[in-house]
Amino acid sequence: MNRRWNLLIVGLLICLLASSTALAKVKITYWTGWGGDELEDLKVVIEEFNQANPDIEVETTTIFGAYEKLLTAIAGGRGPDVVSAIWGSQLAALAHHGALQPLDKYIAASSVVSPDDFFPAIWKSYNYKGHIWALGATTNTNFEAYNKDFFREAGLDAERPPKTIIELEEVTRKLTKWDANGELTRLGFLPGGLWKMGLVFGGNWMNEDTGEITADDPGNIAALQWLGDFWKEYGIENLQNFTAGFGNYWSPNNPFMVGKLAMQSYGEWLEQFQIRYNPDLDYGVFPTPAPEGGRENVTTFGGSVFAIPVGTEHADAAWQFIEWITGPVGQKKLAKVFANMPPRVAVAKDPEVLEAVPILKFGLNLLEGPNAFGDLPIPVWEQYQAEMGRAEEAVTRGGAEAAETLKQVKATIEKEYKKLQ
């Protein structure tokens, strides 16, 4: 009889304990923009967090390619507890429109996160109107890659990539090939990306002190002019048709990997690309060449960031997850599986990380230099970039006049920006 009672009590206690731990376990939903193989890698890293934090369970959902869902979900009060399907370029807009919770109080109380741990330019990019709205676990830098075999074939020094814009133009001409019918079979280089090229030509897109939109800065005009001249030299129709035959950038048919381009803009992922898609490729990298009076060693950086949307009941648990995945442990793991640049200085310089992803050394120099640029902290930045893209198209494909086109961009963005002030 006595024994029976004992058993019963023990049994009850076990039940109670089990249920109380089950109650204490917080399930948080996490929406990511990573998909495919990267999503699988990410899930392995997240499982480690779940193991290490028995009181929290992170449920990962990918919304790859459907980022618009986030806005409607938040508006409907059904948003995730943590989201990283946000590009740095969207951060200011989301913060401005009240979609996110500021992280300041958590950061102030945290022993893991301190502003000094991050590259200064990157830390600044998490900031909008004096608050920190998100933290990154990864970022990326950009530069140019060149095919050494093609350099040798054209009689060029394979260890000496172009240093100036003039050299870049000359090398591009030498590396470009046409067939008997006058069709392009290989292009030396395809410049593009007006935001970065404007910076390379010494331009600025905004005066951050006065808030003035400076799309028609002489440097930006010169850059756009140069892009337009490039397209004219090779023929708009030729380039249009040739580039339309390019395979998806993020695939084995990437034009640099299959030899349709002798030089192409890349980031850290180049190393993984080469290993996966073309192991025989002999390549080198160099910073984007600048014209006289322009900026040397420019890189822009961006990438997805982790944030807590408004309306979640589990903000504290969400923060614990963000603190871990953007902390030294999480960043190191992600740097290795994604081969992305870590935003923390110590992780980026960690010998173990550099050994796993040697190309990071190159980006590191750019990121530590004076010409590393992040997204502009304005809520109309997405639209600004879209207008830049349209302007680039209008000048390169449509033969429009650079100065006039950029004046239009300035007017459009100024109007939109003013509405939000």
Partner 1 sequence: MLRLRKKHSDLATGLAFISPWIIGFLAFVLYPLLASFYYSFTRFNIIQSPRWIGIEGYAELFFDDPLFWISIQNTLYMLVFGLPLSLVVSLLLAVLLNQNIRFKAFFRTLFYLPTIIPAVASAMLWLWIFNPQYGLINSVLALVGIRGPGWLVDPRWSKPAFIIMDLWGVGGAMVIYLAGLQGIPEQLYEAAEIDGANWMQKFWRITIPMLTPTILFNLILGAISKLQYFTAPYIMTRGVGTNVPPGSPLNSTLFYSLLLFQNAFAYFKMGYASAMAWILFVLILVITLALFRSSARWVYYEGQ
Residues lying near partner 1 in the complex (CB under 8 A): 68, 71-72, 74-75, 93, 97-99, 190, 192-195, 237, 240-246, 249, 310, 379-380, 382-383, 385-386, 388-390, 392-394, 397-398, 415-416, 419
Residue whose CB is less far from partner 1, 302 or 342? 302
Point out which residues pair with 144 in neighbouring strands.
Answer: 265, 286
In angstroms, give the least distance from the CB of 32 to partner 1. 19
SS3 64: coil
In angstroms, give the least distance from the CB of 129 to partner 1. 15
In angstroms, give the least distance from the CB of 238 to partner 1. 10
The total of other beta-carbon atoms located within 10 Å of residue 165's CB is 19
In angstroms, give the least distance from the CB of 401 to partner 1. 14
- The secondary structure element, H or E, covering residue 315 is helix 315-325
Residue whose CB is less far from partner 1, 48 or 416? 416
In angstroms, give the least distance from the CB of 9 to partner 1. 52
Going by C-beta distance under 8 Å and a sequence separation of 6 or more, which residues neighbour residue 137? 84, 306, 325, 326, 330, 331, 334, 342, 343
Q: What are the start-end ranges of the E strands in 296-366?
A: 299-300, 304-307
Q: For residues 57 and 308, give the distance between their C-alpha atoms in angstroms, rounded to a whole number.
A: 16
Point out which residues pair with 135 in neighbouring strands.
Answer: 306
In angstroms, give the least distance from the CB of 354 to partner 1. 30
Going by C-beta distance under 8 Å and a sequence separation of 6 or more, which residues neighbour residue 100? 91, 94, 133, 134, 307, 308, 309, 310
In angstroms, give the least distance from the CB of 110 to partner 1. 27
Residue whose CB is less far from partner 1, 83 or 325? 83
Residue whose CB is less far from partner 1, 194 or 317? 194
Task: Tell me the DSSP string of 253-283.
Answer: T-TTTTTSEEEEEE-TTHHHHHHHH-TT--E
SS3 416: helix
Residue whose CB is less far from partner 1, 115 or 399? 399
Residue whose CB is less far from partner 1, 58 or 413? 413
CA-based nearest residue to 301, from 131, 65, 124: 124
Residue whose CB is less far from partner 1, 121 or 409? 409
Residue whose CB is less far from partner 1, 94 or 353? 94
Query: Do the Cβ atoms of 367 and 301 come closer than 8 Å?
Result: yes
In angstroms, give the least distance from the CB of 85 to partner 1. 14
SS3 235: coil
